[in-house]
């Protein structure tokens, strides 16, 4: 069984579809409204679990209705909640999401209890981290908490995958503990100082981050697919062509699938190809976690694509 420990955020997403994303100061009338479980940590944990991973989530929610619903959801998904903490004072995290044409979105997050996930909370879970195949991290919880999780995992020889979202300035010391850094084009640009607009510039940014200490880098520049750069070389993996409805959790589906495949003892390039498919399937549906595919769905898509391709 592929064992993945996810350290990160849990939010409730409040989503409105609009025909046009508003400009500053502009009010637009929306259409469909939905509430869905979200948060980068939670989304990535659900992605790995639906694909068949044995997943532990280290996160913090409030003692409120959203927190209760989050706990119930994780249990339904088969995620280990032994280290899902309940904050007695702070509310659960909430994300306000507008989804516009072609699935583009605007997101604002009120972190709530996510901001209180501490290094001490992570230290209490050292046993779970030490027995994992992969530890998967993001930046929607305090940076010192992320650093502690990476330090513990590195000390036990566990593969560390960091999705640096939202983008922050990262010290080289943290990058040296990361086996695979997985930024999108905006995050890669911010962290590397190299503007990423296509696969070639993604490769340059990834090479810069490799020089700063990351073991490997996977840049996901949207419709360009993914660019993998390691000490052994670089590869551009184009994505499957699908009709995008909502891109909200595409990066999370990618990261969860990538971590799951690495934990399954697959090669990084195989993991990128698999994750590309999971991400592509996710954008064909509305919502964050509701859009995340199962292993059966990914395998059936791969099989149908293979059968329908030209030799």
pLDDT tens per residue across span 148-157: 999 999 999 9
pLDDT at residue 246 tops 80: no
Token readout for 5 is 């420990």
pTM for this structure? Answer: 0.91
Relative to beta strand 84-87, strand 233-237 is: unpaired
Percent share of the chain, pLDDT over 90:
78
Question: pLDDT per residue over 279-298, tens digit each?
Answer: 999 988 877 788 899 999 99
Two structure tokens written together for 156: 């036990």
Record the tokens describing residue 86, joined without a space: 């309940």
**H or E element: which one contains 164?**
none
pLDDT at site 111: 96
Instruction: Output the DSSP codes for 238-273.
Output: PPPP---S--TTHHHHHHHHHHHHHHTT--HHHHHH
pLDDT at 308: 38
Residue 186's nearest CA partner among 167, 168, 206 is 167
Q: Are 268 and 276 in contact (CB under 8 A)?
A: no
CA pair distance 7, 221, nearest whole angstrom? 24
Q: Does residue 159 carry a pLDDT above 50?
A: yes
Is the pLDDT confidence value at 306 over 70? Answer: no
163 Cβ contact partners less than 8 Å away, ≥ 6 residues apart: 40, 44, 136, 137, 138, 139, 182, 183, 251, 252, 255
198 is catalytic: no
Q: Is the predicted pLDDT of residue 240 greater than 90, yes or no? A: no
Q: What is the pLDDT of residue 310?
A: 32
For the chain, what is the mean pLDDT?
Answer: 93
Q: Could you give the C-alpha distances from 133 to 3, 5, 230, in angstroms and in order? A: 5, 8, 20
- The catalytic residue among 133, 179, 246, 252 is 252
What's the topology of domain 3-20+33-304?
3.40.1190
Nearest to 231 by CA among 179, 195, 187: 179
203 with 229: CB under 8 angstroms? yes
Q: How far apart are CA 178 and CA 166, in angstroms?
A: 17
Q: Does the structure show a pLDDT above 60 at 79? A: yes
Question: What DSSP character marks residue 108?
Answer: E
The answer to whether the bond into 60 is cis (omega within 30° of 0) is no
Number of alpha carbons in the 13 Å side-chain half-sphere of residue 117? 35
Judge whether 273 and 65 are in contact, CB under 8 Å.
Answer: no
Q: Which two tokens stand for residue 290?
A: 């509701």
Longest alpha-carbon distance in the chain: 60
As beta bridge partners, residue 217 has 181, 229
Question: Rounded distance, CA 309 to CA 290, Å?
Answer: 29
Question: What ranges do the domains of the chain cover?
Answer: 3-20+33-304
Do the Cβ atoms of 114 and 10 come closer than 8 Å? yes
Q: Provide the 8-state DSSP code for 227.
A: E
């Amino acid at each position: 069984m592929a064992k993945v420990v996810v350290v990160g955020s849990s939010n409730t997403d409040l989503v409105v579809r609009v025909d046009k994303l508003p400009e500053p100061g502009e009010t637009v009338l929306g259409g469909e409204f939905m509430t869905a479980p979200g948060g980068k940590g939670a989304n990535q944990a659900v992605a790995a679990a639906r694909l068949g991973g044995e997943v532990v989530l280290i996160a913090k929610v409030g003692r409120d209705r959203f927190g209760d619903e989050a706990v119930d959801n994780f249990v339904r998904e088969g995620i280990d909640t032994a280290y899902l903490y309940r904050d007695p004072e702070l509310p659960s995290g909430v994300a306000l999401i507008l989804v516009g044409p072609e699935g583009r979105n605007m997101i604002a997050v009120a972190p709530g209890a996510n901001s209180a996930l501490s290094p001490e909370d992570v230290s209490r879970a050292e046993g779970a981290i030490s027995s994992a195949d992969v530890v998967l991290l993001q930046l929607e919880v305090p940076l010192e908490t992320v650093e502690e999780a990476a330090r513990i995992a590195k000390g036990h020889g566990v593969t560390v995958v960091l999705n640096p979202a939202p983008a922050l300035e990262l010290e080289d010391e943290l990058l040296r503990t990361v086996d695979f850094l997985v930024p999108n084009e905006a995050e890669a640009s911010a962290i590397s100082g190299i503007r990423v607009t296509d696969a070639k510039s993604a490769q340059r940014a990834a090479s810069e981050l490799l020089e700063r200490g990351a073991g490997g880098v996977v840049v996901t520049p949207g419709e360009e697919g993914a660019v993998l750069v390691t000490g052994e070389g670089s590869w551009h993996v184009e994505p499957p062509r699908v009709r995008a409805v909502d891109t909200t959790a595409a990066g999370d589906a990618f990261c969860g699938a990538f971590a799951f495949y690495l934990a399954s003892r697959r090669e990084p390039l195989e993991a990128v190809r698999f994750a590309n498919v999971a991400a592509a399937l996710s954008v064909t549906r509305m919502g964050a976690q509701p859009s995340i595919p199962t292993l059966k769905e990914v395998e059936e898509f791969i099989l149908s694509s293979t059968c329908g391709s030209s030799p």
